[in-house]
Amino acid sequence: MKPSSQSLSIIFGNLPEKDQFMLFEFAEFLKSRAPEPVSKITEPLGIERPEKESVVAAIKRLKKNYPMILQKELLNETSEFMMQHMMQGKSAVDVIDDLEVLFESKFKATLVKHSD
């Protein structure tokens, strides 16, 4: 039997609540192991930087602006910039400037990687 979302939905609906939760957790686990889909977008979307922006909003904007960059490749660096802002008091503007440079450099590295 080929799996389908309809058959999975029927199975899910017939399970007791605790087993539904377990099935959902297992599905989330499998999803986390799956490779990230490769974006067909090859150029940044050109989303403008607003005049006033929080670091979190900037990260979200940059992720949308650069969908071709795998999020796993950015996790360590974005976390480090966020910590510099929150724990070390680095200004949001300076951190966002650094994030802009990070995303641009990752984008350029992605171009080089895909041109090989």
Tens of pLDDT, residue by residue over 10-67, are 888 999 998 888 888 887 777 767 666 666 778 899 999 999 999 999 999 999 999 8
Sequence ranges of the domains in the chain:
1-34, 55-115
pTM higher than 0.75 for the full model? no
Pairwise CA distance, residues 26 & 43, whole Å: 35
Helix 17-33 crosses helix 5-14 at what angle (to 10 degrees)? Answer: 140
Percent of residues in the chain assigned helix, strand, coil, to nearest 5:
65, 0, 35
Sign of the CA dihedral 25, 29, 30, 34?
Answer: positive
Task: Output the six-digit token pair for 61.
Answer: 């904007």
Q: How many CB atoms lie within 10 A of CB 49?
A: 14
